[in-house]
Amino acid sequence: MKFEILLCCLLVLSTTSALSRKEEAAEQNRRKASQALYKSQPNRQTVRNKEAEEFDEDEVSDQCPEPNGFFPDAEQCDKYYDCRDGSLMEKLCPDGLVFNDFSPQHEKCDLPFGIDCSKRSKLQTPKPTPHCPRMHGYFAHEDPTNCNTFYYCVEGKFNMIKCPDGLVFSEKTGICNWPDEAQKKGCGSRELFNFTCPKVDESIAATHPRYPDAEDCQFFYVCINGETPRRSGCKLGQAFDERTGKCDWARKIPECKDWYKDVLTDVELDALENPPKPKTTGSNARRKGPKREAE
């Protein structure tokens, strides 16, 4: 019995010592592998220097994306950069104009209409002059109730322009437009024309029905989708015929036959209604050359 107990103890000790030797060997292998990995890695200071170099290169590329070209500022719409051989020069458009970034190969400042400045909305300090909030551009009249007059400014000098009848100046597009599209406060169709489209069923509304202007034979209203009125007109000498929904010579429309009486003479109306036909020369007509002298 004692012999069996002693044998078991010896087996346990031998097993424990074998495991210890295996663990020591494994630990040594791990240390060797760790040392080899450490030697294979670059110096930390070297890594930091490389990261700094990469950061500097990125910073330069943000300013000059390409060695040559014209590039917009990230925040200010009328500021841009001229890059030549990697050398950067900051530039400003004339007051009222913004940089058009359609192509890096072109240096172009343009009116702000149609150029997206939503992500770079800052602008230079304005330089106003009479009727011109900025040196260049199209600007609405100072009187908000004057819907169809605007100013075109160049170098701070203005030129006053009036929209055609039925249109108003749109500050969003810089052109004259229909009141419902311009969406200028106080300049809607109802405020301007004092006209409301009659209520009609959907089938008629889809045809954009027309109605005469009760105060002017030359003009009429087109009701877009039967709801939104737009004032339009006929050419000189004509009037709107409610029966046909079209323009015709005023003298042919009973209620408008005398509309141009104090404006145009009968002779002038005749000339408008029956313009002279242009004289044409036959293409096959022979050209007579100089006569030869008899020998």
Do the two domains 48-121 and 195-273 of this chain adopt the same fold? Answer: yes
- What value does the mean pLDDT of the chain take? 81
Reply yes or no on domain 195-273 having CATH 2.170.140.
yes
Tokens of 197: 């489209």
Rounded CA gap, 252 and 258, in Å? 10
Selected residue with higher pLDDT from 249 and 26: 249
Rounded CA gap, 256 and 250, in Å? 6
Please tell me the predicted confidence (pLDDT) of residue 2: 44
**Is the pLDDT reported for residue 1 higher than 90?**
no
Model pTM score? 0.63
Please tell me the predicted confidence (pLDDT) of residue 211: 96
DSSP letter string, 242-291: TTTTEEEEGGGSGGGTTTTTTTS-HHHHHHHHSPPPPP---TTPPPPPPP
Rounded CA gap, 75 and 276, in Å? 61
Please tell me the predicted confidence (pLDDT) of residue 264: 95
Q: Furthest-apart CA pair in the chain: how many Å?
A: 164
pLDDT band at residue 282 using 50, 70 and 90 as cut-offs: low
Please tell me the predicted confidence (pLDDT) of residue 91: 96
pLDDT band at residue 279 using 50, 70 and 90 as cut-offs: confident
Please tell me the predicted confidence (pLDDT) of residue 97: 97
**Is the pLDDT reported for residue 134 higher than 70?**
yes
Please tell me the predicted confidence (pLDDT) of residue 191: 85
Reply yes or no on domain 48-121 having CATH 2.60.40.
no
CATH level 2 (architecture), domain 126-180: Beta Complex (2.170)
pLDDT (tens digit per residue) in 207-255: 999 999 999 999 999 999 999 999 999 999 999 999 999 999 999 999 9
Q: Where are the domains of the chain?
A: 48-121, 126-180, 195-273
